Amino acid sequence: MNVNQLIEKLPEHPLDLIQNTLGKKVSKDSYYLYVIIRLFDEFHKNYVFTFNSITELVEFLPAIIFNDVAINWDKDYEVNYAESNFSNDYELLEKLTNQNWDELKCKEFISEQTKFDDLELIEFGKISDFMEASSEEFVKSKEHYVSLDELEMIGITQCRYQVLHKFSSISEVPPSQNWDEFLKMIEDWD
């Protein structure tokens, strides 16, 4: 299956799926997927994709599995990747979408399938999980840490640190005390 056949079979182009999850209105009950996309060489960017239901995450699976199509899509992609065969990846997508998904299944998937080409799946959870951030954790997140080892020493995950660190640049108090501003930051993540 070449890229044109793949695009025809998918309900939506992977690039559109990615763009549609950014800037979406969210609530405390929404879900987040924290990812790192390696764009080229050592350059990477972190994203928080949001979903208002587990079904929305399942509908987003083509963007995860075919992230290379989304990340590298341009007018020459179809020509440059004309010989690519997406059959195995499409079979994986069919297998995954035919499963019963819940929050636990999503977390297991993210922890087991951490790397898809240039997309690294870091963490999945409910946005309300950030409400549990203690004042101490929030203060720690204001500091600059450069390694995962440092984060492990202070007992904070990479995702939690990045999100709380970003929030600490716009708020003096943890998300639980400034919930509306926190939701706005998640919606406006760039």
Identify the CA nearest to 133 among candidates 108, 106, 165.
Answer: 165
Can you give the residue range of the structural domain that contains 61? 1-128
33 and 115 housed in the same domain:
yes
87 and 149 housed in the same domain:
no
Please tell me what DSSP assigns to residue 161: H
Query: Do residues 117 and 36 touch, judged by C-beta distance below 8 A?
Result: no
38 and 53 housed in the same domain:
yes
What is the tens place of the pLDDT at every residue in 113-165?
766 666 788 889 999 999 888 888 888 899 888 888 898 888 888 899 999 99
112 and 153 housed in the same domain:
no
Of 96, 128, 160, at which residue does a domain stop? 128
Using H for helix, E for strand and C for coil, what is the string for 68-134?
HHHHCCCCCHHHHCCCCCCHHHHHHHHHHHCCCCCHHHHHHHHHHCCEECCEEEEEEEEHHHHHHCC
Whether 174 has a pLDDT exceeding 90, the answer reads yes
7 and 101 housed in the same domain:
yes
142 and 66 housed in the same domain:
no
CA atoms within 13 A on the CB side of 17: 24
111 and 159 housed in the same domain:
no
pLDDT given at position 173: 92
154 and 117 housed in the same domain:
no
Give the count of domains, the chain: 2
Query: Do residues 157 and 68 touch, judged by C-beta distance below 8 A?
Result: no
165 and 102 housed in the same domain:
no
Distance (Å, whole) CA 4 – CA 157: 39
34 and 51 housed in the same domain:
yes
Whether 15 has a pLDDT exceeding 80, the answer reads yes
Query: Do residues 171 and 182 touch, judged by C-beta distance below 8 A?
Result: yes
Distance (Å, whole) CA 48 – CA 26: 12
pLDDT given at position 116: 66
Residue 187, judged by CB atoms within 10 A of its CB (0-12, 13-18, 19+), counts as: middle
27 and 119 housed in the same domain:
yes
67 and 157 housed in the same domain:
no
Of 103, 128, 153, at which residue does a domain stop? 128
pLDDT given at position 47: 87
pLDDT given at position 130: 92
Predicted confidence band of residue 167 (pLDDT cuts 50, 70, 90): very high
Of 100, 128, 156, at which residue does a domain stop? 128
pLDDT given at position 117: 63
Please tell me what DSSP assigns to residue 175: G
- Give the pTM: 0.85
